[in-house]
Amino acid sequence: MGIATVCLSGTLDDKLTAAAAAGFDGVEIFEPDLVAAADTPEDVRARCADLGLTIDLYQPLRDFEAVPPPLLAANLRRAEHKFQVMERLGADLLLVCSTVHPDSVDDDDLAAEHLHLLSERAAAHGVRIAYEALAWGRHVSTFDRAWRIVRRADHPSLGLCLDSFHILSRGSDTSAIRVIPPEKLFFLQLADAPRLDMDVLQWSRHHRLFPGQGAFDLAAFLRTVLDTGYTGPLSLEVFNDVFRQSDPRVAAVDALRSLLGLQEGASVDTALPAPPRLDGVAFVEIGAGPGADAEVAGALDALGFTRSGEHRSKPVDLWEQGSARILVNRAAAAEGATAVAAIAVESTDPPASARRAERLLAPILPRHTQAGEADLAAVAAPGGTSVFFCRTFFSGTDFSGTDFNGTDTDAGWRADFAPTGAPAETGAGLHSVDHVALTQQTDDFDGAALFYRTVFGLDPETPAEVAAPFGLMRSLALADARHRVRIALSVAAVRRGGWAPAVPHPQHVAFATDDITAAATRLRAAGLLLEIPANYYEDLDARLAPPPERLDLLRDHELLYDRDADGEFLHCYTPVLGSRVFFEVVQRTGGYLGYGALNAPVRMAAHRRDRLRRSA
Amino acid sequence: MGIATVCLSGTLDDKLTAAAAAGFDGVEIFEPDLVAAADTPEDVRARCADLGLTIDLYQPLRDFEAVPPPLLAANLRRAEHKFQVMERLGADLLLVCSTVHPDSVDDDDLAAEHLHLLSERAAAHGVRIAYEALAWGRHVSTFDRAWRIVRRADHPSLGLCLDSFHILSRGSDTSAIRVIPPEKLFFLQLADAPRLDMDVLQWSRHHRLFPGQGAFDLAAFLRTVLDTGYTGPLSLEVFNDVFRQSDPRVAAVDALRSLLGLQEGASVDTALPAPPRLDGVAFVEIGAGPGADAEVAGALDALGFTRSGEHRSKPVDLWEQGSARILVNRAAAAEGATAVAAIAVESTDPPASARRAERLLAPILPRHTQAGEADLAAVAAPGGTSVFFCRTFFSGTDFSGTDFNGTDTDAGWRADFAPTGAPAETGAGLHSVDHVALTQQTDDFDGAALFYRTVFGLDPETPAEVAAPFGLMRSLALADARHRVRIALSVAAVRRGGWAPAVPHPQHVAFATDDITAAATRLRAAGLLLEIPANYYEDLDARLAPPPERLDLLRDHELLYDRDADGEFLHCYTPVLGSRVFFEVVQRTGGYLGYGALNAPVRMAAHRRDRLRRSA
């Protein structure tokens, strides 16, 4: 598996180091990376050998074919220089992109003749040529036309390079790939992309993504290519404005993870354990520093949670209601700070989930388990959240809130908590965690989506965009097929500067209920119900014309509201607790599967007001 | 002059406050801003009155016309609610956008009938309707079709809203605007945009700019509209991802500045003094803290500058060579820090330049001039740079380097410097400042371009995009017609995060010479010539095939090279001095007007290596 250096940020050496550390065994050297480097081609060759990287491709040679004789002569001279560089690099495959030169002509015979000439020169240096149709090529913009030219040129050192972006961005029929003999398929470049209706060159240069992060059906594409008998490298070539400036060590891991996920999707044997079924969120652990811990506890109490357990060796409390469980960890966070420290999901096979995560390059977290405590496999997710896989209800036992067994490690993570003996509250009717919402740093967003998609086996839902008071937000929720585990990711469209970042990177846990007014009533009694402005209800009335008594109920309980063809969504919020965590209560009716994205700006403005009022 | 609240970041009150502070006298209230606000419409009305703002428009009412009866009934109910809100706001004009509703039909008669009905209802509330064609309207996407519908509807409370984006993005012929009677032109929205080949809705929602920041000929458009006799507000409606999240107080000033510049371009009398001719850069002042000051002085010395003067009251040195002058100010900067503190331009009429700057809302900087010192008008440019207007050569005197006159304030800024008596060096043949390059913060880039365009009267050149080692950079140079004053602005396409920001927001001063090898030789002797890698020259040979002796000369002097149809460009660099400033020497031959943008990544990688080596 390989990666083009253009995918990653930094100097050439930064890129090679990151690619090797992630586990790639090959690279495409993007010429501008070499040109700006102080290392000679011989140095780069040695460095790659040290790192265990083969140089699978040198790229690109542009604007070569079907040009007038003087330009052809200059192009051959240029190519000759590059062959020499490649010999010094120890690279034997050169990418030639279909020309965009204004002086080129629309003549496949001439293109074939010129490529034959180039291949003959290349062969003298032990170099082969991989010809690729750019989606915006002046005359050659489709792979099948490029293939006809390669056939016509008929030179053993000339073959085809297929690039998924150039093919799928045009919506080309990929079935014609099947006629290409595998020995003429010299190289395969893979890139995903979101569906954008824009100039294809700009789309390609700025918005490519790693496989699984975009909208292309790359698994089907890869399957088609592999079915030809292609056995060459699977190599990523992704131009992306964010990846170009983010830590290459992180991006390279995302890249390799994406290739593993893609191969699994294309039914290539990757030795990845299939994702075990997820049955829900076992618990969410919130780190809450001094001061913030009381705020979080107060909100949980107001929401009807019972503090049912105390960890046997750590300053961690267990709060429960129905199958919604929150751990409040007072150990790690700074004063006033809050964060979603961990998400534990119920897996039908926790060890297999953990093995899958590890195979997908998720960093395994060191644990400090004491004798008799559950050995939960934990991995680090992007954005500083840990992930656990567990089975709260084991061996068919329906575990009740008071039935602890502190000595049996088979009893799972709950055995680590000594029961407080607190009587279970009647509660407020919350029955489970509906979703966990995590705002990502700019550089982590696409990587986080890929992480939850591949490691958890979740499916991405439709991306959304919200015009929030302090800037545009993008969001993407992922869920399993049964909607037992939902992770909602969001990111500021522009990395925030100094102006009014109301709450930096907020996170929240949403609890599901069938009686949201009960929860709202309790929150209000505790002074912890976020106030929604009258203007919102007036607009709601204008837009959706709910029955008057329904509107009154919403207004009286500070509930936000959405509906679609499948059902309704009612939700309310606590204030921000500590630095950035809050709770949401949601009630879904019918088949509503969204998150009330339309209401997000109203919620954000309300949180802003609430913070200003509390700090006044 | 007005502005839509959607242009600015923050809560509704943040936006109103910023608009009023900048000097706007009207606003368009964007409905979602009101919906998220806790202030009632009555509160907002009172607040606007306090701030001296009229509410010129309430917007938008969407998807109203040409729909089946049940939907029409719901739409009329919705409109009725909005009329009530508008009465409470004291707003009497409602924007209705052409429908994009899937159930709407392509029937101008029906659209006119529905708009007539709406206008009749509106009139009962004292409200008028401004109908606007969205560029992506389902059936009505051009202003002339919207106008035909308005004519057909024939209601005194119904008129047209023209939006420059919707019209110019489609490349519509604007001459048909001339047939619209001014009393039916209810409102004018102005927005610029870069030329982008993409879905027009996405282009509109994310990439609009203030007038003068984009590629549209807004001056001609405005002239056409004003020639109809339109006397209503000129109001900005700009959706922009960066402005949405930047300080609204800064954005509002940019917005008003853009409207002043636009009116000047459209020959509206704005009482703006015409921009005086600029004759060059008088001096560049570099702030250099302890440690960095010696680095800067060392580089100037190596470049052949003479330390010719010392400021009479401040720790500032004057360095000169030809008409290139650098002030090194040791007062302001922190240890090791460097920055371009000020740029002084030679104006044929400094007071008029200063008045123009002030009228264009440039903040006037307080000065601490002592008796007998020159009273230079200084204004603050975006990004922390000050700007001075001066005449170094006054009253026809050709001022020589040793002819100081310390008592006559008419002698200009140089009289503030006591001559050091240092013999003028023979120098290295540098004769002037070629350009000043300033990297902007993300939020400042478009504002900085507008500032130099309007305040200095410079023309923007073609924007460039550079794939730099640590992320994509965008740049825009501005120059006067004679290329005496050139300012090159650049910005990271994605605001930088934690990964390897080699030099944060670098700035440099480029000096012009006719003998760059002399300058490079001196820099090398001082150990201050930035080293360019061999790979660069090998690629240059492959690409451009310069004569071998030419290539040797370039390589031997660490010179970067570019050429175009008009001429050649040779350039070399010093290391980064202190935190972020460096010098460039450039030699232009023929009519080359660029900046060697292609070489920027090579220079950046070289600076990165140089910094690592020096810190090792």
pLDDT band at B411 (very low <50, low <70, confident <90, very high): low
Q: What is the three-class DSSP state of B615?
A: helix
Phi, psi (5° rounding) for residue A212?
A: 95, -10
Instruction: Mutation target for A interface from B6, B7, B11: give the one with most A CBs within 10 A.
Output: B11
CB B195 within 8 A of CB B170: no
Q: Which of A38, A206, A499 sits opposite B533 (nearest CB)?
A: A38
Give the one of B242, B470, B543 whose C-beta lies nearest to A78's C-beta.
Answer: B543
User: Which residues are CB-neighbours of B400 under 8 A, at least 6 positions away?
Assistant: none
CA-nearest of A419, A285, A392 to A339 is A285
Report residue B610 as tokens. Answer: 């140089």
Sheet-wide strand order for A417-419: A378-380, A386-390, A338-347, A278-288, A324-329, A316-321, A306-311, A417-419
Lowest mean pLDDT among B141-150, B281-290, B367-376: B367-376
Residue with tokens 């036992």: A397
Contact (CB, 8 A) for A143 and A177: yes
Looking at residue B393, what is its pLDDT? 60
How close does chain A come to B54, measured CA to CA in Å?
A: 20
A157-169: b (≥16 Cβ within 10 Å) or e: bbbbbbbbbbbbb
Angle of CA points B154, B129, B187, to nearest 5°: 105
How far apart (Å, rounded) are the C-alpha atoms in residues A363 and A381?
8
Local confidence band at A409 (pLDDT 50, 70, 90 cut-offs): very low
Predicted local confidence at residue B503, as pLDDT: 81
pLDDT band of residue A370 (cuts 50, 70, 90) is: low
B561-581 tens-digit pLDDT:
999 999 999 999 999 999 999
Phi-psi region of B38 (alpha: psi -120 to 50; beta: other; left: phi over 0): alpha
Cβ burial of A435 (10 Å; 0-12, 13-18, 19+) is buried
Which ranges of A286-424 would DSSP assign to H, the alpha helix?
Answer: 292-302, 350-359
Give the one of A38, A197, A472 whose C-beta lies nearest to B198's C-beta.
Answer: A197
pLDDT higher than threshold 60 for residue B142: yes
Chain A residue with minimum CA distance to B11? A469
- Specify the pLDDT at position A377: 75
* pTM of the predicted structure, to 2 decimals: 0.95
Closest B-chain CA to A472: B241
The tokens of A368 are what? 């400090």
**pLDDT tens digits for B481-502?**
999 999 999 999 999 888 866 6
pLDDT at residue number A426: 77
Cα–Cα–Cα angle for B161, B165, B171, rounded to 5 degrees:
110
- Give B606's contacts in chain A (Cβ within 8 Å): 36, 38
A502 band by pLDDT with thresholds 50, 70 and 90: low
The secondary structure element, H or E, covering residue B439 is: strand B430-439
Asked if A18 and A53 touch (Cβ cutoff 8 Å), the reply is no
**Chain length of chain B:** 616
Which residues does chain A have within 8 Å of residue B541's beta carbon, measured at their own beta carbons? Answer: 81
Residue A462 pLDDT more than 50? yes
AA letter at B354: A
> Residue A500 has what pLDDT?
67
**pLDDT confidence of residue B499:** 83
Q: Secondary structure of chain A: what % helix, strand, coil (to 5)? A: 35, 25, 35
- Arithmetic mean of pLDDT, A174-183: 97
pLDDT of residue A497: 87
Which residues in chain B have their CB less than 8 angstroms from residue A541's CB? Answer: 81
Question: Which of A97, A92, A81, A84 minimizes the C-alpha distance to A26?
Answer: A92
**At A387, phi and psi to the nearest 5?**
-130, 130
Residues B245, A196: C-beta atoms closer than 8 Å = no
Assign A410 a pLDDT band (cuts: 50, 70, 90): very low
DSSP string for B495-552: ---SS--SSSS-EEEEEEES-HHHHHHHHHHTT------HHHHHHHHHHH---HHHHH
Average pLDDT rounded to a whole number, residues A104-109: 98
B511-540 per-residue burial string, b: 16 or more CB within 10 A, e: under 16: bbbeebbbbbebbbeeebbbebbebbbbbb
Between B404 and A260, the higher pLDDT residue: A260
Closest Cβ–Cβ partner in A32, A38, A470 for B9: A470
What b/e sequence results for B103-112 when a residue is b if at least 16 CB atoms lie within 10 Å of its CB, and e otherwise?
A: ebeeebebbb
Contacts of A41 in chain B (CB under 8 A): 535
Other C-beta atoms closer than 10 Å to the C-beta of B276 total 21
Quickly state the pLDDT bin for A505 (edges 50, 70, 90). very high
What's the pLDDT tens digit per position in B526-536?
999 999 999 99
In terms of DSSP bridges, do strands A417-419 and A386-390 run parallel, antiparallel, or are they unpaired? unpaired
A11: which chain B residues are within 8 Å (Cβ-Cβ)?
Answer: 469, 605, 608-609
Average pLDDT, chain A: 94
Amino acid at residue number A499: W
Mean pLDDT, residues A300-311: 97
- The 10s digit of each residue's pLDDT in B213-259 is 999 999 999 999 999 999 999 999 999 999 999 999 999 999 999 99
The dihedral through the CA atoms of B553, B557, B563, B568 has a sign that is negative
Tell me how far apart the alpha carbons of residues B26 and A72 are, in angstroms, rounded to a whole number: 62
Lowest mean pLDDT among A11-20, A161-170, B405-414: B405-414
CB within 8 Å: A35 and B536? yes
Give phi and psi for B322, each to the nearest 5.
55, -130
Are A533 and B198 a contacting pair at CB < 8 A? no
Model confidence at B408: pLDDT above 80: no
Residue pair A574/A530 in contact by the 8 Å Cβ criterion: yes
pLDDT of residue B501: 63
Q: State how far the Cα of B472 lies from the Cα of A206, in Å rounded to an integer.
A: 9
- Nearest Cα to B82, choosing from B96, B72, B70, B68? B96
Interchain contact, A36 vs B499, CB within 8 Å: no
The answer to whether the Cβ–Cβ distance between B443 and A497 falls below 8 Å is: yes
For the segment A387-394, the average pLDDT, to the nearest whole number, is 82
Say yes or no for a CB contact (<8 Å) between B245 and A472. Answer: yes
- Contact list, B196 vs chain A (CB under 8 Å): 198-199, 202
Given an 8 Å threshold on Cβ–Cβ distance, is A536 in contact with B36? yes
Find where tokens 């794939």 sit.
B467
Q: What gap in Å lies between CA B226 and CA B231, rounded to an integer?
A: 7
Distances in whole angstroms, Cα of residue A20 to Cα of each of A1, A234, A250, B326: 11, 15, 12, 47
What is the average pLDDT across A131-156?
98
Q: Which of B492, B497, B536 is the closest to A441 by Cβ?
A: B497
| Two tokens, residue B386 | 């000050």
**The two structure tokens encoding residue A188:** 């395969």
Residue pLDDT, tens place only, A219-247: 999 999 999 999 999 999 999 999 999 99
Residue B577 gets which letter from DSSP? B
Considering only the beta carbons, identify the residue of B31, B441, B498 that sits closest to A497.
Answer: B441
Q: Which residues in A lie closer than 8 A to residue B4 (C-beta atoms)?
A: none
CB-based contact A282:A388 (threshold 8 Å): yes
Inter-chain contact A247–B499, Cβ cutoff 8 Å?
yes
- Phi, psi for residue A512 in degrees, rounded to 5: -90, 145
Task: Please write the tens of the pLDDT for every residue from A331-357.
Answer: 978 999 999 999 999 999 999 999 999
* Residue A502: C-alpha distances to residues A254, A440, A445, A611, B245 (Å): 30, 15, 20, 8, 11
Instruction: Return the higher-pLDDT residue of A396 and B271.
Output: B271
User: Residue A395 above 70 pLDDT?
Assistant: no
Size of interface A-B (CB pairs under 8 A): 198
User: Of A11, A45, A199, A573, which to mutate for an interface test with B (greatest number of B Cβ within 10 Å)?
Assistant: A11
Could you write out the DSSP letters of every residue in B183-240?
Answer: GGEEEEEE-B-----B-HHHHHHHH-B-TTSSSS-HHHHHHHHHHTT--S-EEE---B
Q: Which two tokens stand for residue B13?
A: 């009150």
Relative to beta strand A386-390, strand A430-440 is unpaired
Sign of CA dihedral B554, B559, B560, B565: negative
The CA dihedral of A267, A268, A271, A275, to the nearest 10 degrees, is -30
Element (H, E) at A344: strand A338-347
Taking contacts as CB-CB distances below 8 angstroms, the residues of chain A near B542 are 77-78, 81-82
Residue of B nearest to A244 (CA): B471
How do strand A386-390 and strand A378-380 relate by DSSP bridges? antiparallel
